Amino acid sequence: MYAVESLGSGQLVGHVIFHPWHGVSTWEVGWILRKDSWGRGLASELSLALFDHGFGRLGVDRIVAEADPSNTASIRVMERVGMVRAPELDRDLPVWQIERRS
Ligand SMILES: CC(C)(COP(=O)(O)OP(=O)(O)OC[C@H]1O[C@@H](n2cnc3c(N)ncnc32)[C@H](O)[C@@H]1OP(=O)(O)O)[C@@H](O)C(=O)NCCC(=O)NCCS
């Protein structure tokens, strides 16, 4: 779990989780931001940074995220950063994924 700090103000604005998901080569990302920080592109920026970290330094093969179908904001973040629906991975919630490009 990573704390998310605003570069401008130094304020804590939320956290992200990034952890192995049902296997060592697939990791899950998830975000929770303070409401007054929504809509500024923070979740998209965080996701792209974690993709670099996961695919680059950690050697992860696939990164997934789960979202309730009503969570438009979360789904828009996933689409915006290049994740695609992966129905074959669905468990309790629909799953999106992005794979490492070789
Ligand atoms: C989901 C969440 C992390 C999005 O964070 P964010 O920093 O506001 O997202 P971004 O600013 O990167 O926006 C990404 C897209 O979502 C859209 N969006 C943001 N808030 C939205 C809202 N409340 N309703 C609809 N769309 C929304 C943005 O317009 C943008 O879409 P665009 O590419 O079409 O412009 C944030 O809303 C949140 O913390 N929600 C509560 C926790 C949660 O549901 N987490 C996800 C489950 S792990």
Residue in 44, 46, 70, 77 to alter for ligand 1 test, most ligand atoms within 8 A of Cβ: 77
Q: What is the pLDDT of residue 17?
A: 96
List, for residues 47-89, the tens digit of each pLDDT value.
999 999 999 999 999 999 999 999 999 999 999 999 999 999 9
Phi first, then psi: give them for residue 40, nearest 5 degrees.
-110, 10
Cα 68 to ligand 1 centre (Å): 13
Q: Which atom of ligand 1 is nearest to the CA of 32?
A: 39
Question: Is the separation of the CB atoms in 15 and 1 below 8 Å?
Answer: yes
List, for residues 8-56, the tens digit of each pLDDT value.
889 999 999 999 998 779 999 999 999 999 999 999 999 999 999 999 9
Beta strands 12-20 and 26-33 are antiparallel
Cα 80 to ligand 1 centre (Å): 10
Cα 45 to ligand 1 centre (Å): 11
* Sign of the Cα pseudo-torsion (71, 77, 80, 81, in order): negative
Query: CATH number of the domain that 54 lies in?
Result: 3.40.630.30
| Structural domains of the chain, count | 1
Q: Which residues line ligand 1 (CB under 6 A)?
A: 30-33, 38-44, 67, 71-74, 76-77, 80
Q: Which atom of ligand 1 is nearest to the CA of 45?
A: 12
Q: What is the pTM of this model?
A: 0.90
Q: What is the pLDDT of residue 24?
A: 77
Domain holding 36, by residue range, is 2-99
Count of CB atoms situated within 10 Å of the CB of 36: 9
Cα–Cα dist 30/7, whole Å: 20
7 burial type by CB count under 10 A (0-12 exposed, 13-18 middle, 19+ buried)? exposed
Q: What is the pLDDT of residue 82?
A: 97
